[in-house]
Chains A and B, each alone.
Chain A
Amino acid sequence: AQSVTQLDSQVPVFEEAPVELRCNYSSSVSVYLFWYVQYPNQGLQLLLKYLSGSTLVKGINGFEAEFNKSQTSFHLRKPSVHISDTAEYFCAVSESGGSYIPTFGRGTSLIVHP
C-alpha cells in the first residue's frame, strides 16, 4: 500500500517570494501523483498531475512539480507567489493499474503575507 508524507503542515511566505511545498511518497509499484488546492470553504481543485513522460509537470496558476523517482518525491514549486495563493495544498498518490483509490497527504497550509 502507498503512503504520502507532506513534510510541512504550514508554510508562511511573503508575497512575490518563491515557495516549495514538499511531498514524499512510498510505494512498491509505479505511481500516479497529484497536487490539489483547496481554498477556504471550497472543494479540492486539481493543480497538476504526473501520469508518465516528462518528470517536470506544469499546472495551473503558475505552479509546477518535479517527479523524482529515486527520492520518491513530488515537490510543488512556484517562483513568485501572490496573496491569492493562500490555501491548503494536498499531495496524493495512486498506484498504476490499481483500483485508483488515491492516498492523500495531510495537507500543507500556504500562507502568503503582504
Chain B
Amino acid sequence: DVKVTQSSRYLVKRTGEKVFLECVQDMDHENMFWYRQDPGLGLRLIYFSYDVKMKEKGDIPEGYSVSREKKERFSLILESASTNQTSMYLCASSSLNEGASNYGYTFGSGTRLTVV
C-alpha cells in the first residue's frame, strides 16, 4: 500500500535541461516536503508546502522551484539542471494534526537523479 509515490526511481538528465520531479500522496495530508540527501550532509530541506498553491523555502532553495496545484501533488522543478544537483531526492507528506496517531512524515521511495 504505497502512500507517497515519486514518479521515477532513477533519472539521468543533461546539464541545462529543465527537470520535473513529481510526488503524489493519497493520505489527504496538508503538508508536503522536498528534501535532497547527500553522503555526509544528511537530509536538507529544499521547499515545503502547507496548502494548495502555497510554498515556503527551506534551507537550500537555490536552483529549484516547486508547484502545488492540487493537494495530493507536489512537484519539484530544476529550472536548469547542473551537475551539483546530482543527488537523491526525497518527497514526504504529513498531517497538520499533532494529536493524530499517524502523526509523522511518510516518505516516498526517492528519486536518484544524475545530471551529466
Contact = CB atoms under 8 A, between A and B. Distances in A.
B88 to A, nearest CB: 8
- Classify the interface of chain A: helix, strand, loop or mixed: loop
B25 interface: no
A105 B105 contact: no
A29 to B, nearest CB: 13
Given A41-B112, A43-B90, A101-B45, A32 B98 contact: yes
A100 B112 CA distance: 26
A25 interface: no
Given A97-B98, A100-B31, A100-B94, A49 B104 contact: yes
B20 interface: no
B74 interface: no
Interface in A96-114: 96-97, 100-102, 104-107
A46 B42 CA distance: 16
A46 B98 contact: no
A43 B98 contact: no
Contacts of B96: 100
Contact of B42 (A97, A100, A104): A104
Contacts, number: 50
* Size bracket of the B interface: 20 to 34
A107 B42 contact: yes
Interface string B104-116: 1111111010000
B98 A100 contact: yes
Interface string B61-75: 000000000000000
Contacts of A74: none
Interface in B1-20: 4, 6, 9
A107 B31 CA distance: 23
Contacts of B6: 43
The listed residue with most A CB atoms (<10 A of its CB), out of B45, B94, B107, is: B107
A92 B90 CA distance: 16
